[in-house]
Chains A and B, each alone.
Chain A
Amino acid sequence: MKKDTLKSYLINLLAIVVLFIIMKMLISNGVLNRYYVGIIVFIGVNIILASSLNIATGFLGQLALGHAGFMATGAYTSAITAMTLIDRGVALPNSVILIISLIAAGTVSLLVSLIIGIPSLRLRGDYLGIITLGFGEVIRVFINNIKFTGGAQGLTGIPMLTTFDNTFWITVFVIFVLYTFTNSKHGRAIISIREDEIAAEAVGIPTTFYKVLGFSTAAFFGGVGGGLYAHYLAFLDPNIFGFMRSVEILVIVVLGGMGSLTGSIIAAIVLTILPEALRDFAQYRLLIYSFLLVAMMIFRPQGLFGTAEFSMKMFLHKLRHNQIISPRKEIKDGD
């Protein structure tokens, strides 16, 4: 690893640890009560879901409208894995059980995504969106009607393993993996498919392989996000994983900027807090939310960040040299 890269990773790690300590202090002081901690956990879950979908939609450039299906698969797999482990009397610490369940969740979601991804990724644009939409609905109906998921009554008795600490670190870990992935050779191959599939194929990139890889990576982490969600709610109802849920995740990705993980993180934070902050206007909150969505798309269709990323190193560099932070570079998004 280059010395420079290592340095920037260390700076980021330091910033994250500081953030973690500050938040821990706020929690122990009681400034952040249970309600706020709950919101923070949901922010973490949404960050994982949005940044994973960003791999498929933002970096790979394939419209996917069924992310809630993978989230549901992950949520149920994780819940059932943890319940079985605890039933069998496996004596492991909670966090280990959580990690095992989340890996199981991601793996099953990945396998499911291969079933749909391999035949359908040769389709383009809207058609892929439609097929993933249909698949997401099929998964939901499926969960609704089989026995071991609790069916339409929902699944109860899921151990509450998700805490602030493990959500925080799992989110950081997922972002780290996704960030290094998008900056690796494979990530560049995936971005090249978004920019021009035919050109990518012409320079020898196995496009089918990378499309499936991008799509199933998204599904894997979508499943992990779902698992984390299940262990916080402790109750699963198949109908929370409907089409609207997929839309919510996609909205975070598009608002943050397709192809920007920073954008997904910021948008996940804003869009999780916004509906809660608007709770005083109860019946108007979704009206305001949807209005902002339309307005945002009209005035800034590339999202908050476009394809740019925020870098701690650049930020510090600019601070040190007393420069005004330059406007983000904007890349015009082609059709």
Chain B
Amino acid sequence: MTLLIQQFINGLSVGSIYALIALGYTLVYGIIKLINFAHGEIMMMGAYFAFITVITMGLPFLATLIFSMVLAALLGITIETVAYKPLRKAPRISALITAIGMSLFLQNLAQVIFGADPKVMPDLIPKRPINIAGIQIGTVTIVTIILSVFFMIVLDLFIKNTKPGKAMRAVSEDKEASVIMGINVNRTISITFAIGSALGALGGVLYSVAYTQVYPTMGIMPGLKAFVAAVLGGIGLIPGAMLGGFIIGMVETVSKAYLSSQWSDAIVFGILILVLIVKPTGILGKNEREKV
């Protein structure tokens, strides 16, 4: 029983990282209908930013985190302006290929700059198990869950209450109409990329602290799974990404612990396929009728 609860908490922690990354996919998809395949790489760059900050400046954890998130946000805006903006009116698949190209580019850039070998991430959070009612939980796990939930609440408040947040929702509903209402669409898209990338970087830092490693290809698998999470919950929907992230994290942890660690990826993708066949718009998605 204690083991089950322990696994449950681990799943929650892994899931919250996936949820953070999934938010980036979902925000961008919601607003420009693009699967931003480079998002996993932004997460990787976020981890590297944190790594460099710690090594060179030795800042404390929170400062490092914020520094890395700001840098990642700037990176996200740059990528959007350079690579995606010229393709707004191009066929969807061209934009998709550009995103894939961008993802490859960032991966190889990181490889050229930092080398292909994994770097050891310093312990940003002092690691010791905390004993709560006989259940051993690592500090990293707790910090991950707390930080993720905190930023999700901040995001939710931002989207619901602030002007840029409302603009984001408006643009994702109807781009033309929001232009008429005087919303600066380009700026809103940039803000979306900035927020998505910052959350991705947060996920990346937490991921690299949990697994104590940073390497150029670290973004691929978590990126793919976070993407699965976003689709599972209903792509374009913010609560969907959070729900999907937690489900994927939970399924992965539980199947690794009780079934087989080799098959867990197949189980994750299998669930994705089943959900898409039964309900293509995802768990929280609304069915939309195809317009003729």
Contacts and interface: CB of A to CB of B under 8 A. Distances in A.
A130 interface: yes
B104 A301 contact: no
B92 interface: yes
Interface in B221-253: 224, 227-228, 231, 235
Contacts of B104: 286, 289-290, 293
B87 interface: yes
Contact of A137 (B87, B97, B100, B269): B269
Contacts of A156: none
B108 A287 contact: yes
A335 interface: yes
Given A287-B109, A294-B102, A334 B228 contact: no
Nearest to A198: B292
A194 B71 CA distance: 42
Interface stretch (A12-20, A118-126, A321-329): A118-126
A120 B277 contact: yes
Contacts of B111: 283, 286
B139 interface: no
Given A130-B231, A290-B104, A294-B83, A123 B276 contact: yes
| Most B Cβ at <10 Å: residue of A131, A244, A294, A302 | A294
Interface in A269-296: 283-284, 286-287, 289-291, 293-294
A127 B272 CA distance: 11
Given A125-B92, A141-B263, A294 B98 contact: yes
A284 B112 contact: yes
B276 A127 contact: yes
| Most B Cβ at <10 Å: residue of A63, A254, A297 | A297
Interface residues of A, number: 46
A145 B93 CA distance: 33
Contacts of A291: 101, 105
A333 interface: yes
Interface in B259-274: 260, 262-263, 265-266, 269-270, 272-273
A141 B262 contact: yes
A63 B100 CA distance: 14
Chain A interface mostly helix, strand, loop or mixed? helix
Nearest to A297: B98
B86 interface: yes
Contacts of A289: 104
A55 interface: no
Contact of A301 (B94, B109, B220, B272): B94
Interface in A105-141: 116, 119-120, 123, 125-127, 129-131, 133-135, 137-138, 141
Given A145-B262, A290-B101, A283 B112 contact: yes
A121 to B, nearest CB: 11
B91 interface: yes
Nearest to B83: A294
A55 to B, nearest CB: 15
Interface string B69-81: 0000000000000
Contacts of B62: none
Contacts, number: 126
B90 interface: yes
B280 A247 contact: no
B27 to A, nearest CB: 16
B283 interface: no
B101 A144 contact: no
A254 B102 CA distance: 15
Contacts of A129: 35, 96
A131 B98 contact: no
A172 interface: no
A48 interface: no
B273 A135 contact: yes
Contacts of B235: 126
Contact of B277 (A119, A141, A297): A119
A298 interface: yes
A243 interface: yes
Contacts of A123: 276, 280
A258 interface: yes
A209 interface: no
A251 interface: yes
B105 to A, nearest CB: 4
A237 B260 CA distance: 21
Interface in B43-97: 83, 86-87, 90-97
Interface string B28-48: 000001010000000000000
Interface string A240-251: 000110010011
Contacts of B231: 127, 130
Given A123-B276, A127-B280, A286-B108, A254 B265 contact: no
B269 A294 contact: no
Interface of B: 33, 35, 83, 86-87, 90-98, 100-102, 104-105, 107-109, 111-112, 220, 224, 227-228, 231, 235, 260, 262-263, 265-266, 269-270, 272-273, 276-277, 280, 292
Given A131-B273, A297-B97, 19 more contacts: A120-B277, A130-B227, A131-B276, A133-B224, A134-B228, A134-B269, A134-B276, A137-B224, A142-B266, A145-B262, A286-B107, A286-B108, A287-B112, A290-B107, A293-B97, A293-B101, A293-B104, A294-B83, A297-B95
15 contacts: A57-B93, A120-B273, A123-B280, A126-B35, A131-B273, A134-B228, A141-B269, A145-B262, A254-B97, A258-B93, A286-B111, A291-B105, A297-B98, A298-B98, A301-B94
Closest 6 CB pairs of A and B: A293-B101, A301-B94, A290-B104, A141-B266, A290-B105, A134-B269
